[in-house]
Amino acid sequence: GENVEQHPSTLSVQEGDSAVIKCTYSDSASNYFPWYKQELGKGPQLIIDIRSNVGEKKDQRIAVTLNKTAKHFSLHITETQPEDSAVYFCAASPLGSARQLTFGSGTQLTVLP
C-alpha cells in the first residue's frame, strides 16, 4: 500500500518568514495530494490540494508543488503569521475504489512573534 513520509516533524520560524514542509510517497499510482491543518482539539481542515496533472498550485500565501518523477510534494507558506501555528499533514490518495487518504506523520509548525 501507499506510504507517506513527512519532514520535518517540528518547524519554528519567525513571523514573516517562509515555512516549507516536504513529503514523499511510494505509490506511483497516487494522483491526489491534499494538505490539512489541524489545531489542538479539532479535526483536520483542508488548506490546499493538488492533482497529479498539475505541477504547482497557489492560494494567497500558500503554495504546493508536486514532482511526480521524484514522488515528492511540498507545502510553502509565505509571510507566516502566529495563527499559522498548528500541525500540518500531507496526504496521498491512490487510484482504486476506496480513494482513502494515507497521511504523513505531521509537522508541528510554530510561528514566533
Partner 1 sequence: DTGVSQDPRHKITKRGQNVTFRCDPISEHNRLYWYRQTLGQGPEFLTYFQNEAQLEKSRLLSDRFSAERPKGSFSTLEIQRTEQGDSAMYLCASSLNAGETQYFGPGTRLLVL
Nearer residue to partner 1 within complex by CB, 49 or 65: 49
Q: Report how far residue 57's alpha carbon sits from residue 97's, in angstroms, rounded to the nearest whole number.
A: 26
When the beta carbons of 43 and 113 are compared against partner 1, the nearer one is 43
Which residue, chain included where needed, has cell 519532514?
Answer: 7
Q: Does 33 bind partner 1 (CB under 8 A)?
A: no
Q: Which residue among 3, 18, 67, 105 contacts partner 1 (CB under 8 A)?
A: 105
- Using the minimum distance from each CB to partner 1, give the nearer residue, 46 or 112: 46
Phi/psi for 82 (5° steps) reads -55, -35
Q: How many C-beta neighbours within 10 Å does residue 62 have? A: 16
